[in-house]
Amino acid sequence: MAGSRKHAEIDFDGLGDAALVELARSGRREAFLQVIRRCNQRLFRIARGVVHDDAEAEDVVQAAYVNAFEHLDGFRGDAMVSTWLTRIVLNEARGRLRARKPTVEVEQIEAAQGEAGRVLAFPNRFGAEDPASAAARREIRLLLERAIDALPEHFRLVFVMREIEECTVEETAECLGLRPETVKTRLHRARQRLRAALEDALAPALGDAFPFLGARCDRIAATVIAQLQARGRLSDEVPTTQPSSTRGESPC
């Protein structure tokens, strides 16, 4: 009983990557869930940027989590856990893409032309809206998603990481195996392409693009936890029914 009280006192929301991974290595269910909640949105968006399909993107993220959590010793702490998981998701997504069609090599893009101006000014969150405005925003979001989908993959992934997920140039370069200069150049080209297709009226939609929150986030978390439990990776076997967290970095 004392051990259970000690477990319950841990503030998982406030833990850093190293502490969370250490608890996950010991099989703590809530540590796994906290990592999933923090990373789900980014990983889904990046997977979808490769495979172009919501359902397959969910499969990619689920498989990547199970693979990563089965090999936690591979996380050495020299990068953020989100960066480490991003690489695994990219490998999984690109592997699936190779399995269904031949890969095409992308020509080397010339040196960076600078990072002048965002294609649109996209806020991340919005206040209360009337139903008509909310419906219009949904339509705009879908239009924007289609425009992003239409970008070539090498531009699309950089755009998703830099503009939607707001990753730094350095983290984007590390995740994608690129030089920082190449990241800047590809972002510049992506912005040019989108600017030609979109008007400033679309600006409020980007923060809502490719949502992966609430029930969808909970579903993949539950599936991953069930697989880890079946593989004997969890030390605390009491099922978790805690509702999605909205504090801190957790997007669910």
Tokens, residue 16: 């850093």
Q: Are residues 220 and 175 in the same domain?
A: no
Q: Are residues 86 and 164 in the same domain?
A: no
Q: Are residues 179 and 199 in the same domain?
A: yes
Q: Are residues 202 and 159 in the same domain?
A: yes
Tell me the residue range of the domain where 65 lies: 11-103+213-230
Give the span between the Cα atoms of 187 and 243, in whole angstroms.
37
Q: In this structure, what CATH number is given to the domain that contains residue 194?
A: 1.10.10.10
Total domains, the chain: 2
Q: Are residues 39 and 90 in the same domain?
A: yes
Q: State pLDDT tens for residues 89-100.
A: 999 999 988 887
Domain membership of residue 47 (yes or no) is yes
Domain membership of residue 116 (yes or no) is no
Q: In this structure, what CATH number is given to the domain that contains residue 39?
A: 1.10.1740.10
Q: State pLDDT tens for residues 1-33.
A: 444 445 557 888 888 888 898 999 889 999 999
Q: State pLDDT tens for residues 145-184.
A: 888 888 999 999 999 999 999 899 999 999 999 999 999 9
- Cα–Cα distances in angstroms (integers) from residue 246 to residues 16, 38, 250, in the given order: 17, 10, 6
The H-assigned helical ranges of the chain are 2-8, 17-25, 29-51, 54-70, 81-100, 131-149, 153-159, 169-176, 180-197, 214-230
Q: Are residues 45 and 164 in the same domain?
A: no
pTM for the model stands at 0.63
Domain membership of residue 122 (yes or no) is no
CB 88 within 8 A of CB 64: yes
Domain membership of residue 4 (yes or no) is no
Q: Are residues 19 and 87 in the same domain?
A: yes
Domain membership of residue 249 (yes or no) is no
pLDDT at 187: 95
Domain membership of residue 36 (yes or no) is yes
Give the span between the Cα atoms of 86 and 174, in whole angstroms.
10
Locate tokens 């990753």: which residue?
Answer: 167
Q: What percent of the chain has pLDDT over 70?
A: 73
